[in-house]
Amino acid sequence: MTQVLFSEDHEYIKIENGVGTVGITDFAQKALGDVVYVELPKIGSTVTKGGQAGVVESVKSASEIYSPVSGEITEVNQALADDPALVNSDPHGAAWFYKIKISDAGELSALKDEAGYKAFTDSL
């Protein structure tokens, strides 16, 4: 079963068999506006929870992506480099940023479920 969790930095992570697929939330893409450039992490690199794992830029501004968990990057979504606007049109689907082999499943408990994330964004 796929589990989807959210960070307060507006990343989501979909978890299947110890591998997480990370992207930015619909709430985040709406706040950013039209995405014109995405910088992805390197395959094989390791990231730590809360550490920088990419950049997303709209016409207006640049925003760093923070990894919701620690682990090794196993795959990145090259489609975003060619078509950054996917982040606006399909943030939770085609516009995933990277896949990560989760090194410490214990970190997941600090993330929010969908209802918890919605309550969080409603409070902003």
Total residues binding another protein (CB under 8 A): 28
The count of C-alpha atoms lying within 13 angstroms of the C-alpha of 61, restricted to the half-sphere facing its C-beta, is 7
Q: Centre a 10 Å sphere on the Cβ of residue 95 and count the other Cβ atoms it contains.
A: 23
Q: Is 6 in the site for another protein (CB under 8 A)?
A: no
The count of C-alpha atoms lying within 13 angstroms of the C-alpha of 39, restricted to the half-sphere facing its C-beta, is 11
Q: Is 40 in the site for another protein (CB under 8 A)?
A: no
Q: Is 37 in the site for another protein (CB under 8 A)?
A: yes
Residues 78, 99 contacting (CB under 8 angstroms): no
Binding span for another protein by CB under 8 A among 12-20, 27-35, 98-106, 109-117: 27-35
Binding region for another protein (CB under 8 A): 9-11, 24, 28, 31-34, 36-37, 39, 55-66, 81, 84, 123-124
